[in-house]
Structure 1
Amino acid sequence: MKLGAWSKGLAVAAAATLSLAACSAQSAIVENTAVTVAWNQPLYSFNSSTSSGNATANAVILYLTQQSFNYYDADQQLIDNEDFGTMELVSEDPMTVKYTINDDVTWSDGVAVDTTDLLLNWAALSGYFNEGEPEYDEETGVIVPSDSSVWFDSVVYGTAISDTELPTIDDDGALELTYTVPSIDWRLNMTGVGVPAHVVAQRALGIEDAEEAKQAVYDAIMNSDTETLIQLANVWNLDFDTTAMPAEADQNILVGNGAYEVTDFVEGEYITLQAREDYAAGPAPSVETITVRYITDPLASIQAIQNGEISITQPQATSDILEAAEALGDAVTIDSEPEAVYEHIDLNFSNGGPFDPATYGGDAETAKIVRQAFITAVDVNEVLDKLIIPLQANAEWNQSQVFLPGAPGYDESVAANGSEVYGQGDAEAAMAMLEEAGVETPIDVNMLYASNNTRRVNEFTLYQAQLAEAGFNLIDGGNESWGSLLGTPDYDAWFFGWQSTSTSPLGAESIFRSDGGSNFTGYANETVDSLYDELSTEFDEAAQRELLAQIDAELWNDAYGITIFQFPGVTVYDSEMTGVSTSPLSPTIFWNYWEWGIPAAE
C-alpha cells in the first residue's frame, strides 16, 4: 500500500523525543540464526522516496537495509539514533537544522556515508532544482526520463522540505539546512540520506571511482549544473526499481547503509538479507539472516507458520485468519491490536471519467454531485458487519480523512465535518441526486484494487452490488500490480489502505495538496492548500487540530472520496522467538528487528 502521505512529519510540540545513546551496547551476530517473515506484497523499488516507489512493500525492506537519524518505537515515541549521527536545531529564526553523520557510518560497499549523500537526498526531496512539468507513462504511472529539464520525482515535493535554501557545509563537514518558512516537521523532513550518491553518479555519469562520483554530485548541486542534474535525476527516479535480483553489473542499486544487505531476490517469491559485520550505524541485530517471503493469501501464511516455513506473519486479519492462528495453540504467540492504517475509496478528478468536471463541459458542480451520489450509495455498515466486526467487535466507521479514530481531535472533527450524510447505502437518495443533476445512468466506474487480496476481493463484491442499486456500474479493475497503477487515467476509483509512519499532523499533506507527491486523484482545493501552509508553521496542538478539522470538512464537502475502516491487526509468530513487537506505525513488526532472537540452527 502507498505510504507517502503518511510518512513525513512530527509535531515537535506534540511528541516526546528519546535518544539512543551513541556507542550503545550492541549484540553480536549469532551464527546460523535465520528468521523468515511473511509479507503480502513484494518489493519493487529500492528508492521509496519516489512517487511510484513510495509503498509499504518497499519501506519494510529498506528499514532493514537503510539507516537514519531517528525511528519510532512501539509506543510511537521518536527515538534519536546517535549511532548514525545527529540533527540539531541551531537557529529558530531563520529555522536552521544542522546534520552531522558519524565518521564510522559506511555503505555496504565500504564507501563512507557523508554530507554529499545528504546533499543529494535534500536536492531530490525538496525539488529545489525542479523545472517545467514532468511526463508520466499513462499505463504505468511511472515518470518518463527527461533530456531537457530537471525533475526529481519526490513523493514529498511541495511539502515543507521544499521551503528550504541551498544547504551550506561547515568546516567540520556538517550540512546546515535553512528554512524560508518554519516547519513543525523539521525532525522528519529529512531523516536519512536515501540512496547512495556515489552509485547515482556512477550510473548516471559513468564515473567508476566512488570519491570522484561523489565529487561530481557535490559540484552539480552546489553549482546548479542543470545538464548533470538532469542525468542524476533520471537515475534517482528510475534506476532503483526492480522486482528481482538485478544482473551483476546493476547490483550497486542494492547498496545500503543499514544493518542488512540483500543477498538474494527471487521475483514474487522472497528476498533474503544478510547481517553486515561492519555495521555501526545503529542498534545491531543478532539474527544473521532474514528472509521475507511473499505470501499474498493470508490463510496460506498461517499454514506456512504451522509448517515451520516462516517464523512471523502479520496478515490482513479476518475472523478465519484469527481462528486458524488460534488453532495452532502454544506453538505460536498471537498479538491483536488496531493498526494505524485505514481503508478508503478515492475518486479520480482528472481522467475524463465520471467524477471529472471535464466530462460535463467543465461543470464542477455536476461532477461533485456525481461524487456525492457515489459515496452516498456506499454502505459502510455492511462492509463492517460482514468483514471487520467478526474480528473486531467494536469496529466502527472511520469518519475522518485526516484523523484516526481515538486520536485527539477526531470526535470534534467528525461532529462537524459533514460526513454523516454519506456511507449509509442510500441508493434511493443517490439516484435522486443524479436525476436532479441530469446525469444519465448507468454510469460506468472502473475500480482498481488488489486482486490478490481476499478481503479486498470481498469488498469489491459488496461495493459492486451496493452501487448498482444507485445507477453505478462498477467495472472490476482488480490488479495484482495495483500500487503502480494509482493515478493512471484508466481507473475512475480505487480503494486501498494508507499506512501511517509518523504522528505528524502534516501526515496526509502530500495526498490532499494540489501538488502533493501522493495526490493520485488530481484533487485541487486552494483552501486546503492554504490551510496546510498555515498548519506547517503552527506549533500549538489545539490550533493544529482546528486547522485539520477545517481540512477534513473541505474534503467531505468536495466529496473527495470515502473512508471506510481502521485495520484490525493480528501478528502471529513462533513461540520460540523472543523480542518480537509490533508498532501501529510502519514498519510495524520490523521496527525492532535488532531485538529479535531465535535459537541457532544446529
Structure 2
Amino acid sequence: MRRSRIRLITVLATAAAVTAGLVAGCSTTNQVPSIGYAVDAAVASYNGGSTLGASSGAAAVFGRVLTGFFYTGPDGQQVADTDAGTAKEVPGEAQTVQYRLNPDGVYSDGVATSCDDLVLAWSARSGKYTRPGDNGPVPLFDAASTVGYADIERVDCVPGSKDATVVFRPGRHYLPWRTLFTAAELLPAHVVAQAAGVPDVVSALQAGDGAVLGRIADFWNAGWTMKPGSLDLTNFPSSGPYRIESFGADDGLVLVANEKWWGSPPKTSRIVVWPKGTDFAAKAKENALGVVDLGAGSVAELDLAGFDEQTLPSRGAEQLVLATAGVFAPVEVRRAFAQCVPRQALFDTLGKAGEPPAIGLGSGPLNAHVVQQDSLYYPAVTGAADKYRGTDIPAATATLASAGVPQPTVRIGYQAPDERRARTVAAIADSCRGAGISVVDAGAPDFTPVRLAEGAVDAVLGSTAGVPGPAGSSAGVTAFAALRAGSGLDVGGFANGRYDAITDQLAGEDDSTVTLNLLTEAENLLWAQLPSIPLFATPRIIAFGHGMQNGIAGPTQAGTGWNMDRWVLQR
C-alpha cells in the first residue's frame, strides 16, 4: 500500500512537472538560427576597393566577411578591429605606420593572413601601374580611388609575414590614414597569386614583369565579380566571422559562420543578405526578414508590422552626378539644370527623416558637395549654394539661352526599382519642363554608375559616389575622391587641377583656419563648375524585428550590418 502511494505521488509529480514545462515552453522564446537582412546595396563584387565594388556598396555587405584594420562604425567613424590586427603610427622623418596582423589570423581556406594582402591593396590602388592608352597611360588596376594609397612610398613586407611597415612619401602626411587597409578592401593576395601563376604577389609586383602584372590586375579587376549562381567559392575565402556559402537569385547571399575565425564566434550562425533587386515588400510579408536597411520611401507597400523602425538621415549625400560631356559639356547647361532642380521642394517631400533638426544631418537641403551638414565648417562654406537654393525657372531659361543649347534632353539613371528616386526624377521633370529642359527617367534594374562614363545617361541619381544604398562616412574620403580626376568613382569625368590640389592639401592639413579656407574654395569651385548637384542627406529606414538584440542602426557606408555577428533574434 505504501509503495502504491509512493508510485502515485511520483506519477502525479512527474505529470505536474511536464505540464509546467509545457506552459513555460509556450511563454518562452527561442533564438532564430537564421536572420534575413534586407539592404539596398547591389552585390556585384567582393572587391570593395575596385570601382565596381565601391559603387555597388560592397562595404555594406562584406564588412564582417573581409575584415581589415579598421571598419566604419555606426556614426561614420573609423573603429579599430584588433581581431584583424593592430596599426599604429611610429616616429620617423617620414610618416610611418606599423601594421601587425593577428598571429592567429587565417582565411577560411586555411591560408594565413599576411602582409602580402597589404602589398596587393597598395599596389592596386596606388596608381603606379599603368598600361598604354589612346590618350596616354591608363591605370592597370580599376581602383575606386587612389586617395591615400598614392601617398605611400613603399610597403616593407617579407612575403608571408604578419608584419608590414608602410612609409609615406617625403613631405606627405596623410591624416585620415585609418581609412586605408580597411574592411571589405583588404583582399586575399594568395588567391591572386594562384590565379596569376606566381609564388606570391609581393615578389611578382616587385619584379614588375608586364605580363605577370597584367594577370594580377586582370584578376583584381574582374576575378571577384559576383553573379548569382556562378561563384567559384575557392576564390572567395573569408577573413571574418562569416563566409559565403552561396549566392542565388532566389535564395539571396547566404553567409554562414566561418569555422576558421579566430575571434568571438558570431552569435547567429547564418545571415541571408537580400540585396538590391529583391522584392523587399514580399520578403517582409513572408516574415523572411529580421533587419531592414533601405532608402526611405524606396519600396512601395513595405509593411514593417512586427518591426521597431526609425527613419534617419544618413552620411550619404543624395545627389545628381552630372556628365561633363554630351549635353552637359557646356557648364552653362549644368547651371541651367541646377537652377530648375527643385532642391527645397525635393527635401520637403522626399528628403526629410522625420522632423528635421535645427542644424546637422537632415536639417535641410544639402548645400555642400563634400562638407557634411554636421561639420563645424558647414555653415561657413555654403554661400555659393545660395543661387541654387530655390527653383528659378526664368534664370534657368536665360542661362540655357546663353549656352546656345535649345531644348536639351537629360537622361537620369538610377538602379530601379526605387519609388523615391522615381518620384525625384518626376518632380525634376515637372520643374525643368518650364525651362525647356526635357528629363527622361532612365532608371533600370541593371543600372550601374559607369553608364554615365559610357554616355548612356547624362546624370546619375544616387548617394555618395552614385552608390544605390548605404554610403558615406564622417571622414568623407569617398565624397572627395568621387570628384577627383582619374578616380574610378569620377564617373562624370570631372577634371579640375585646382580641386585636386585642394584635396591633396586638405588630406594633410591640421590647421582649422587653413582647412576652412580650403573647404570654402573647394565648395565655391564645385558650385561654379557643378559636376554634381547635392540634394539632401539620404534618408534611410532602419528596422529591427521584435526580439532583436544588439541591433544598432548604421546609416553609413558600412550599413546596419556593421555588427551583424552580434545579432540575436528571439521569437
Q: Which band: TM-score by shorter chain?
A: 0.7 to 0.9
Q: Identify the match of residue 398 of structure 1 among 351, 357, 366.
A: 366
CA distance, structure 2, for counterparts of residue 323 and residue 291 of structure 1: 19
Distance 1:77 1:448, change over 3 A: closer
- In the alignment, which residue of structure 1 is the partner of 2:66? 66
- In the alignment, which residue of structure 2 is the partner of 1:563? 534
Distance 1:302 1:283, change over 3 A: farther
- In the alignment, which residue of structure 1 is the partner of 2:377? 409
CA distance, structure 1, for counterparts of residue 301 and residue 544 of structure 2: 13
Matched, 1:531 2:505: no
Deviation at 1:190, TM superposition (A): 2.4
Q: Identify the match of residue 207 of structure 2 among 223, 240, 245.
A: 223
Q: Identify the match of residue 157 of structure 2 among 149, 169, 191.
A: 169
Matched, 1:314 2:293: yes
Distance 1:77 1:522, change over 3 A: closer
Q: Secondary structure at the match of 1:287?
A: coil
Contact 1:44 1:243 in 2 (8 A): yes
- In the alignment, which residue of structure 2 is the partner of 1:209? none
- In the alignment, which residue of structure 2 is the partner of 1:201? 193
Q: Identify the match of residue 435 of structure 2 among 449, 470, 473.
A: 470
Contact 2:103 2:162 in 1 (8 A): no
CA distance, structure 2, for counterparts of residue 173 and residue 388 of structure 1: 46
- Alignment map for 1:497-508 (pairs within 5 Å): 497-498=463-464, 500-504=471-475, 506-508=477-479
- In the alignment, which residue of structure 2 is the partner of 1:285? 266
Q: Identify the match of residue 327 of structure 2 among 354, 357, 363.
A: 354
Deviation at 1:323, TM superposition (A): 9.2
- In the alignment, which residue of structure 2 is the partner of 1:485? 451
CA distance, structure 2, for counterparts of residue 385 and residue 88 of structure 1: 45
Q: Identify the match of residue 178 of structure 1 among 157, 163, 167.
A: 167
Contact 1:43 1:58 in 2 (8 A): yes
Matched, 1:495 2:483: no
- Alignment map for 1:130-145 (pairs within 5 Å): 130-133=130-133
Deviation at 1:302, TM superposition (A): 5.3
CA distance, structure 2, for counterparts of residue 268 and residue 288 of structure 1: 20
Distance 1:319 1:349, change over 3 A: closer
CA distance, structure 2, for counterparts of residue 481 and residue 549 of structure 1: 37
CA distance, structure 1, for counterparts of residue 447 and residue 250 of structure 2: 15
Matched, 1:256 2:238: yes
CA distance, structure 2, for counterparts of residue 110 and residue 320 of structure 1: 41
1:156-195 deviations in whole A, cap 9, x for unaligned? 22x2211222322369752111111221122222236622
Deviation at 1:83, TM superposition (A): 1.9
Whichever residue aligns with residue 488 of structure 2, its letter is: G
Deviation at 1:509, TM superposition (A): 2.4
Contact 1:375 1:423 in 2 (8 A): no
Unaligned regions of 5+ residues in structure 2, if any?
1-29, 358-362, 465-469
In our comparison, the structure showing a higher alpha carbon Rg is 2
TM-score by length of 2: 0.85
Contact 2:340 2:435 in 1 (8 A): yes
Q: Secondary structure at the match of 2:283?
A: helix
Contact 1:56 1:587 in 2 (8 A): no
Distance 1:199 1:432, change over 3 A: same
Matched, 1:301 2:300: no
1:204-240 deviations in whole A, cap 9, x for unaligned? 32xxxxxxx5x33222122223221111011110111
Q: Secondary structure at the match of 1:340?
A: strand
CA distance, structure 1, for counterparts of residue 188 and residue 249 of structure 2: 24
Distance 1:535 1:283, change over 3 A: farther
Q: Identify the match of residue 178 of structure 2 among 187, 207, 222.
A: 187
Aligned residues with identical type, % of pairs: 23
Contact 1:68 1:81 in 2 (8 A): yes
Distance 1:392 1:243, change over 3 A: farther
CA distance, structure 2, for counterparts of residue 92 and residue 411 of structure 1: 37
Deviation at 1:40, TM superposition (A): 2.5
CA distance, structure 2, for counterparts of residue 413 and residue 91 of structure 1: 35
Q: Identify the match of residue 379 of structure 1 among 333, 342, 345.
A: 342
CA distance, structure 1, for counterparts of residue 220 and residue 104 of structure 2: 25
Matched, 1:156 2:138: no
Contact 2:108 2:259 in 1 (8 A): no
CA distance, structure 2, for counterparts of residue 306 and residue 478 of structure 1: 26
- Alignment map for 1:106-145 (pairs within 5 Å): 106-133=106-133
Whichever residue aligns with residue 446 of structure 2, its letter is: S
Q: Secondary structure at the match of 1:335?
A: strand
Whichever residue aligns with residue 434 of structure 1, its letter is: L
Q: Identify the match of residue 425 of structure 2 among 460, 464, 489.
A: 460
TM-score by length of 1: 0.81
CA distance, structure 2, for counterparts of residue 549 and residue 149 of structure 1: 32
Deviation at 1:501, TM superposition (A): 4.3
1:14-42 deviations in whole A, cap 9, x for unaligned? xxxxxxxxxxxxxxxx9971111112344
Q: Identify the match of residue 446 of structure 1 among 405, 411, 415.
A: 411
Whichever residue aligns with residue 435 of structure 1, its letter is: A
- Alignment map for 1:44-83 (pairs within 5 Å): 44-83=44-83
Deviation at 1:456, TM superposition (A): 0.8
Distance 1:39 1:506, change over 3 A: closer
Contact 2:333 2:405 in 1 (8 A): no
Whichever residue aligns with residue 277 of structure 1, its letter is: E
Matched, 1:244 2:222: no
Whichever residue aligns with residue 591 of structure 1, its letter is: W
CA distance, structure 1, for counterparts of residue 528 and residue 264 of structure 2: 47
Contact 1:150 1:233 in 2 (8 A): no
Contact 2:281 2:302 in 1 (8 A): no
CA distance, structure 2, for counterparts of residue 405 and residue 276 of structure 1: 39
Distance 1:536 1:131, change over 3 A: farther
CA-based RMSD of the aligned residues comes to 2.7
Distance 1:493 1:150, change over 3 A: closer
Q: Identify the match of residue 272 of structure 1 among 250, 254, 258.
A: 254
Whichever residue aligns with residue 174 of structure 1, its letter is: D
Deviation at 1:84, TM superposition (A): 1.4
Contact 1:402 1:508 in 2 (8 A): yes
Q: Which shows bigger deviation, 391-400 or 584-593?
A: 391-400
Q: Secondary structure at the match of 1:337?
A: strand
Contact 1:392 1:568 in 2 (8 A): no
Matched, 1:98 2:129: no
